Structures are given as C-alpha cells and as structure tokens.
Amino acid sequence: MSKISFTTEIKTLGSVRHRNLVRMAGHCIRNGIGLIVYEYMPRGTLFDLLHQKKPIMELDWNARHRIAVGIAQGLAYLHHDCIPQIIHMDLKSNNVLMDSELEPKIGDFGMAKLMISSSDSFASSKSSIVGTIGYIAPENGYSMRLTEKCDVYGYGVILLELLCRKMPVDSSFEDGLDIVSWSKKKLQENEDPFFVLDIEMFYWSKKEKLNAVKLLELALSCTQSLPDARPSMREIVGELMKLSSGIRRGSKRSRKDSLASP
C-alpha cells in the first residue's frame, strides 16, 4: 500500500462508524512502513466464500439477501450519510469481509475519495484507471469526472457474483466477456434467468426463486452503461427491503432433500 493510500485509509476509517464497514482496531507507522489492524473477520472475504472455499458452502436465499443488504447499507451510509460524501472507488468481493454470522463489512479504503459537496465529482487521470478489472465502471475508461455511481456499478457486479457464483472475469466466459456482458448475452440468448443463476437456486422455493430473479434485475440495473441510469444506493436499499418480506428462515430445501423427494 502506498503512503497516500495508507493515509487515506486511516483518515477514512477513523471518521466512519457503521455495522457494515470494517472497524479499525489500530495502526502504526515505523521506518516508513505502515500497518493497519482490523477487527478479526473469521469468514474471510466474500470472494473466498463464493469462489475459493472448499467444500463449496451452500448459501440460501436468506444468506445471499443478508449479504446484499449489508453491503448496500454500508455504501448508502458512505454516499448519503457521511459529510463529506465518501466514494469507495475499489468495491469488490475481495474488499468485503465476512463475520461469523455472514454479516458483510466493507474494507480497504485506500482509494476512497471524499466529496466536498453533493454536486462534486473527482478528476481521474487517463493514465491511471481507478479500480479492479471486472468491477470498473465503463465511464472510468473515458470520463475525467467520476461520481458515486462508480460504486453502484461495482455493487452490481458483486450482486452478479452472489447470484451466479462466477468470478467477474471467469475462465468459463468467452474471450472478452466479463460477468456483466456474459449475463446480458445469456439472457438475450435465453429468456430463462436460471441459465445464469447459481444451480443451487433450482432447489429453492417458488418465492425464493422469484426474489432471486428480482435481485438479478436489480444487479443489471446497477450495471447499466450510463451512470445516470443507475439507481442510488439509497434506492437500492429500498428495493432490497421489499424482497425481505414473505420469506421465512429455514424455508430452503437442500439439494439432498430435493433429490430424495418423490
């Protein structure tokens, strides 16, 4: 981490308090080397949970919805409740840490930008695109002025990871495709969204499947090419809350139970 990124992270983490933002336990600088100590997150990163944990951990509707809501609430706090507004600028599943209850917490604020007013955007150098491949909003490649809608795009990519259980740039995709373009291509070729969604969802209840499709629609809305067409994080939280009703915990049938049924 560069000195600038380290300083940015210390200032940002020292000024924010939210259950879905990682808590800084302490920091020190010695001989030009900086160290940040975070609260312990036993489940590791969301990326590990989705793509690397063996054996694969089954995630029911309640778990995926909780993760989606937690990340959205953390971002909504940064965008709408912090003064000045904070834009994360490197939102990805590797920067979302998971506690023992699968509550997500956003971390790594080394690239975060503080906006002085709601009408502000920040200048991005053409020679140094901000973010991580697969999560970078399209405007980051051509616009010198970037806003919080870059975070919304990254959030949409994370939703697709959560729903499809594929990496943003996955070896199963055709050359040149990322998870956004792959999802849109698959849906154009076949209107059935379950050609895109995680196979585990095949065993969910009808209500859970319907909510998964609605969550997919929200993910695609977040990853629209035009920044102004994307919803705000506050609007996203509102849409997610609508999906929380009518699903009781433990309603998911496991794959084993489904296969055993006549």
Enumerate the active-site residues. 90
Cα gap 69→240, rounded to integer Å: 6
Cα gap 112→29, rounded to integer Å: 20
**Structural contact between residues 108 and 132, judged by C-beta atoms closer than 8 angstroms:** no
